[in-house]
């Protein structure tokens, strides 16, 4: 409980002295030193490049699975049949396949009609930002970070791809410095970030203000357990050296249940200004890095790395 209070607490006047999204000077120096190798897929950031595949799968699959297939369709003849049970377990295969097929066709139609605005908080050198910008369903992407060195790398790298030049912008800015009245997004991402900031609860609160009604915030971070320490710090940094030494700080890891409870506590908060009341945990998924294979999703969200999606009510 002590860690929970320290990490997810109101920090009052201390926040006036530093940015919510600021890491320690040691960690900031560490990331600045990595700037020149950020886009080397075989270099110090190679594990992030590999993880990016799962990031995009998680975002795409989560949004697609929550599309309302009959939204705005008033004609019963045009509505897709959505049974309140798993058709694969109840109906003959031929009928189940037809129902699933019709749903998937409508889902793809709705997916292709999307025009999403995205905000990538703690974008680093732009690995995720560029991937988001390449999606046809994404209209524009803004990446923000507090490291001048890695942002310069991101700006230079985007020039190499004409597909993302006009859709992608970067700013040296903290999330709390964005105007919530004008900076509203369908998708907000904070991947591999919360385990590096000093006040994750305040960062999350600031991020929630920039999610449009019906929009999403996607998070990935690391559970605080022995296995996580063993895999990410002992093996990843010291033995296998697939992660640069000093990348992680064990005490800053956040358990999946802690993050989930933080959202739920907002529903019980009497403060009408607490945006957590408008968000629900729409899904979470564990993941693990396997040497010689890469990243793989797991069904255990309480061990190692995990992804979480929060959806704001319409």
Pairwise CA distance, residues 121 & 190, whole Å: 5
Residues at the annotated binding site for S-adenosyl-L-methionine?
55, 122, 145, 191
Contact 119, 188 (CB under 8 A): yes
Contact 139, 116 (CB under 8 A): yes
Residue 216 CA, chain-centre distance (Å), reads 9
Strand order of the sheet with strand 294-298? 168-172, 138-145, 116-121, 185-191, 211-222, 305-312, 279-290, 294-298
Residue 244 CA, chain-centre distance (Å), reads 22
Q: What are phi and psi of 178, to 5 degrees?
A: -80, 140
Q: How many Cα atoms sit within 13 Å of 190 on the Cβ side? A: 26
Q: Helix, strand or coil for residue 41?
A: coil
Pairwise CA distance, residues 172 & 130, whole Å: 17
Residues at the annotated binding site?
55, 122, 145, 191-192, 195-196
DSSP 170-231: EEE--GGGS-TTT--EEEEEEES-GGG-S-HHHHHHHHHTTEEEEEEEEEEEE--SHHHIII
Residues at the annotated binding site for Mg(2+)?
192, 195-196
Which residue bears the tokens 């991402």?
Answer: 189
Sign of CA dihedral 46, 51, 55, 56: positive
């Amino acid at each position: 409980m002590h860690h929970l209070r320290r990490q997810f607490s109101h920090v009052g006047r201390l926040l006036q002295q530093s940015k919510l999204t600021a890491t320690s000077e040691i960690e900031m120096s560490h990331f600045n030193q990595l700037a020149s190798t950020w886009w080397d897929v075989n270099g110090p950031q190679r594990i992030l490049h590999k993880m990016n595949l799962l990031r995009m799968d998680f975002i795409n699959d989560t949004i697609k699975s929550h599309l309302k297939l009959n939204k705005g369709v008033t004609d019963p003849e045009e509505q897709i049949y959505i049974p309140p049970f798993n058709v694969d377990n109840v109906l003959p295969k031929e009928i189940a396949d037809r129902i699933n097929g019709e749903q998937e066709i409508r889902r793809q139609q709705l997916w292709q009609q999307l025009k999403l605005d995205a905000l990538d908080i703690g974008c680093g050198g732009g690995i995720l930002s560029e991937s988001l910008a390449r999606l046809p369903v994404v209209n524009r992407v803004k990446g923000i970070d507090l490291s001048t060195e890695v942002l310069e790398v991101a700006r230079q790298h985007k020039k190499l791809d004409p597909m993302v030049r006009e859709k992608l912008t970067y700013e040296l800015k903290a999330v709390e410095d964005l105007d919530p009245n004008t900076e509203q997004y369908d998708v907000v991402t904070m991947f591999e970030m919360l385990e590096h900031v000093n006040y994750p609860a305040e960062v999350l609160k600031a991020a929630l203000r920039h999610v449009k009604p019906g929009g999403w915030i996607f998070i990935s971070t690391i559970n605080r357990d022995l296995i996580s320490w063993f895999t990410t710090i002992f093996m990843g940094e010291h033995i296998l050296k697939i992660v640069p030494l000093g990348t992680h700080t064990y005490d800053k890891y956040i358990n999946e249940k802690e993050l989930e409870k933080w959202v739920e506590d907002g529903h019980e908060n009497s403060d009408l200004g607490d945006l957590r009341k408008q968000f629900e945990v729409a899904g979470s998924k564990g993941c693990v890095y396997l040497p010689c294979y890469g990243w793989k999703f797991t069904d255990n969200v309480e061990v190692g790395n995990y992804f979480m999606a929060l959806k704001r009510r319409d």
